[in-house]
Amino acid sequence: MRVSHPIPERNQLTQHPTHTPALGEGVGRVGVPAAVQTDEVTDGQASVQAAEQEPEPEPPPARAAAGGNPHHPAAHSSGLFGLAMGALGIVFGDIGTSPLYAVQTVFSIDNNAVSPTPVDVYGVVSLIFWSVTLVVTVKYVGFILRADNDGEGGIMALAALVRGVSSSSARRASIALALGVLGASLFYGDSLITPAISVLSAVEGLEVARPELAEAVLPIGITILALLFVVQRWGTHHIGRLFGPVMVLWFVTLAVLGLPHIASHPGVLLGLSPHYAIVFVAEHPLTAFLAMGAVVLVITGAEALYADMGHFGRRPIRAAWFLLVWPALIVNYLGQAALILDDPRNVANPFYLLAPSWARLPLVVLATCATVIASQAVISGAFSVSRQAVRLGFLPQLTVRHTSTRESGQIYLPAVNWLLFGGVLVLIVAFQSSSRLATAYGLAVTGTLLLTTTLFLIYAAIAWRWARWKLVLCGVVFGGIELTYLGANLTKIVHGGWLPLLIAAIVVTVMTTWQRGRRIVTARRVEVEGELPQFIEEVHAERIVRVPGTAVFPHPTKQTTPLALRANVEFNHVLHERVVIVTVLSENVPHVPLGERLAIDELGHNADGVVHLSARFGFQDEQDVPGVLREARGLSDELEIDPDTAFYFLSRITIERCHNPGMSTWRKRLFIGMSHNAATPAAYFKLPIDRTVVMGSRIEL
């Protein structure tokens, strides 16, 4: 490791738009501008995050999503009904649109290996019912939603919980995080495929209602998805008010479409018995195995349901599921089965053929709206998972904008949004139909399901102290079903199933590279910075020349010395009469009252005009450092300063690739590439450009 001689740089700053920091990323850490990072890393930026300045805190203990956390979205709601309506629009969009393509896909696999005979139809509908019941109702709604991380859900949040309760076992904690990273990587694959297959399957209804419009399906689908990703920057809290009513209409329509066909063929209700699934598997084991690869489509969205828990809380999700979503889905699947039993030719598109001819075009419009909402669900889930990955140090700080003044879970990540959009466009152009996309679908979903089950069982064993028989029972039931799904979907690898695996491999590589590089840079930067108390003692003992004025140093912690402060003393051999080190902390609330915002930290009797100030902000508060200093007047004699005459110092670290051990050359290049184009915190912290100084240093990676 080599650190070059620090060179002061003046006014070499670039203005950037102000962004709201990632929620909760700064609790006990610096509230820095969440932005894509550069190889020139400034104090408060992500590749040398606050986590790199101090040990990563353990995740907060799990608490009731809608009760234990006073700042959780549920605590700000007008009631359970309002949140349940919102959950219908966001949480259940993905799983609620599965009837569009799931049954059709089952009967079209492997050159119609599943035939529309009574035995096969009853067997398929039984597999569908028990898949939804066991995996979604029992596992996710019944058990998994109880494992929330301070109200947040998703596989990364679950991995953090397992890490938190595995403090006595470093190996177990590492395994938990590795499983979380792998699960999150698979979830990104799901987030790419779901919008493409959902919207295309809805628009393809035009081929049934108006065959002459078949050529317009692809352009219409691309246009709808483009509009969806464009509006993300303004948030969904405004149009989200329409999501709930639209999805209520959608689920009611699902039930209304299915009921007449069930009434005309009531025998289809026999398919709810597990007996028919068992008979189907026993008589046609290979066919049933292949069918499982398509049956899994009926539970896509279960992981998004968990990842979006932070938006609404546990109780509203459960209420919406049991009162409307689950019954409507089962009735529609039974209706499609009855339709196929009446006329086997209906396997061509059993969903749209449920409706009378006069209602098919309006149904296409409603289905398109529902699939747009479904796509929103996985996009929101991808935002949540990305934010959690940043918190855990597996991704650089990304621009995180809060799009609602009330709901902390309503966030927008531009980088993730546009990467998803690019990937979705590639998928649509490459596959061009929902039936082809279905061959690539499933592996990401089943892999995430299985990893979630594994992490949940570890957490239940340690935190909830479940009896061994409970763990074995859940492992056999849930794990057995999901392993079957996974095995069936492995047969799709050569037909497109490789795609989610490739996406997962890329994401895993990115995450592990960032984590490793960040740790190396952290260790070397902390080594260079040194301890702040020791630095203060050295300054006091050497009687450094004090010059008039005030110097302000934004810095993540009071434990280490800001590099700009150390560089100024070592290079200029002077220290300002007043030195204020400001640590900005982001809290998990919209606003922090002024009376609770500031705290002075003791630095010892030899501080000689050096003071440390902690400032707490809510996620909707502007983190104005000069404003903080104005508010701090009167708290201490050292803080009787004029922010309009103070100078502000930032540290900028340039990371250079060298031959140091620890990472391979290509990973170093990837790490530095991810660190490229970082924003300076000067604009974010409202620092005056003409009185801001950047001190440059260099660390070799």
> Tens digits of per-residue pLDDT, 399-412?
777 666 555 556 77
The whole-angstrom separation of Cα 592 and Cα 596 is 7
Query: What pLDDT is attached to residue 397?
Result: 72
What crossing angle do the helices spanning 360-391 and 240-264 adopt, rounded to 10°?
130
Q: Where are the extended beta strands (E) located within 357-462?
A: 401-402, 411-412
Q: CA quadruple 115, 118, 121, 127: dihedral positive or negative? A: negative
Strands 647-656 and 545-554: parallel
pLDDT, tens digit, for every residue of 559-615? 888 888 888 888 888 888 889 999 888 775 657 888 888 888 877 776 778 888 999
Residue the block writes with tokens 């902690």: 614
pLDDT, tens digit, for every residue of 100-146? 888 988 888 777 678 888 889 999 999 999 999 999 999 999 999 98
The whole-angstrom separation of Cα 309 and Cα 90 is 10
Q: Does domain 74-392+443-491 have CATH number 1.20.1740.10?
A: yes
Token pair, residue 99, equals 């009837």
Query: What pLDDT is attached to residue 23?
Result: 27
Q: CA quadruple 45, 48, 52, 56: dihedral positive or negative? A: positive
Picking from 515, 575, 505, the residue whose alpha carbon sits closest to that of residue 547 is: 575
Residue the block writes with tokens 């698979």: 186
Q: What are phi and psi of 28, to 5 degrees?
A: 80, 5
Where in the sequence of the chain do the CATH 1.20.1740.10 domains occur? 74-392+443-491
Query: What pLDDT is attached to residue 353?
Result: 92
Q: What is the mean pLDDT of residues 277-282?
A: 91
Q: What Cα–Cα distance (Å) separates residue 649 from each residue in 5, 9, 113, 563, 575?
A: 17, 10, 69, 9, 12
The whole-angstrom separation of Cα 588 and Cα 71 is 7
Please, are residues 565 and 594 in contact by the beta-carbon 8 Å criterion?
A: no
Query: What pLDDT is attached to residue 588?
Result: 57
Please, are residues 508 and 182 in contact by the beta-carbon 8 Å criterion?
A: yes
Q: What pTM does this model have?
A: 0.74
Please, are residues 251 and 330 in contact by the beta-carbon 8 Å criterion?
A: no
Picking from 125, 124, 163, 154, the residue whose alpha carbon sits closest to that of residue 463 is: 163
Query: Using the 8-state DSSP alphabet, how is residue 493 labeled?
Result: G
Query: Using the 8-state DSSP alphabet, how is residue 559 labeled?
Result: S
Rounded to the nearest 10°, the torsion over CA 391, 395, 397, 403 is: -70
Task: Kindly tell me the number of DSSP H helices and DSSP E strands found in the chain.
Answer: 29, 10
